[in-house]
């Protein structure tokens, strides 16, 4: 069993439709979808707010590289242009974590680092992830750490930048 935690976000165009395109693209692999949050952009670039969510998906035929490729294909379908780092985007699909048979995969390669090296610092990833998997943990500095514990280290101003919405994403599951 290969399970992936994906963080999805958009701040250009029909943001909700872009997020829904990920859920639709993953199809029956979707196990859980978080509530949708509006979030303050992360990083130094001036831009509009994002809609963000987290998706947990499972497909025994897809390994960590397959999840990465699938995320990139979904971004391409949403006309994602890779330009300015941390800049505005139609769709961002980040592979946060991947596990096989219940064991988190740790990878350090040129094209893939797992778990995502900045996920533990991002309230817009941790808050929605906790919503759908309160027992979730992420390896940080070689130690598996509960997401609830990681959230304790997030600055209050960053937590305040993650605002619940009434928007929802529809899963076929």
Give residue limits of the domains in the chain.
2-162
Q: What pLDDT shows up at residue 84?
A: 63
Q: What pLDDT shows up at residue 97?
A: 97
Peptide bond into 26 cis (omega under 30): no
Other CB atoms closer than 10 Å to residue 13's CB: what's the count? 14
Q: What pLDDT shows up at residue 80?
A: 67
Of 72, 68, 49, nearest to 167 (Cα)? Answer: 49
Structure tokens at 45: 């670039």
Q: pLDDT by residue (tens digit) across 72-105?
A: 999 988 876 666 666 688 899 999 999 999 899 9
Q: What pLDDT shows up at residue 85?
A: 65
Q: What pLDDT shows up at residue 47?
A: 85
Q: What pLDDT shows up at residue 82?
A: 65
For residue 106, which phi and psi values (nearest 5 degrees)? -115, 120
d(CA 76, CA 82): 10
Q: What pLDDT shows up at residue 86?
A: 64
Q: What pLDDT shows up at residue 1?
A: 59
Q: What pLDDT shows up at residue 93?
A: 95
What residues does 109 pair with on adjacent strands?
Answer: none
| In 64-126, beta strands by DSSP E | 92-100, 103-104, 107-108, 113-114
Q: Which residue ranges of the chain lie beneath pLDDT 50? A: none
Q: What pLDDT shows up at residue 57?
A: 98
Q: What pLDDT shows up at residue 41?
A: 86
**135, 69, 46, 167: CA torsion to nearest 10:** -50
Structure tokens at 129: 């992830």
DSSP letters for 22-69: HHHHHGGGEEEEPPPEEEPPPSS---PPEEEEEEEEE-TT--HHHHHH
> Which residues are catalytically annotated?
80, 89, 92, 94
Q: What pLDDT shows up at residue 88?
A: 82
**CA 109 → CA 32, 37, 49, distances in Å?**
28, 31, 31
Q: Which CATH class is domain 2-162?
A: alpha beta
């Amino acid at each position: 069993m290969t399970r992936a935690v994906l963080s999805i976000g958009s701040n250009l165009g029909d943001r909700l439709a872009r997020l829904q395109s990920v859920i639709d693209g993953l199809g029956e692999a979707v196990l859980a979808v978080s509530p949708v949050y509006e979030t303050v952009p992360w990083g130094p670039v001036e831009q509009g707010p994002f809609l963000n969510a987290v998706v947990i998906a499972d497909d025994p035929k897809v390994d960590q590289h397959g999840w990465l490729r699938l995320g990139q294909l979904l971004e391409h379908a949403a006309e994602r242009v890779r330009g300015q780092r941390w800049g505005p985007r139609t769709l961002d699909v980040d592979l946060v974590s991947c596990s096989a048979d219940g064991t988190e995969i740790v990878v350090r390669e040129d094209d893939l680092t797992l778990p995502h090296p900045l996920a533990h610092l991002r309230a817009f990833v941790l808050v929605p992830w906790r919503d759908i998997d309160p027992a979730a943990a992420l390896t940080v500095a070689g130690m598996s750490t509960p997401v609830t514990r990681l959230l304790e280290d997030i600055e209050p101003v960053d937590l305040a930048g993650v605002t619940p919405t009434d928007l929802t994403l529809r899963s076929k599951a």
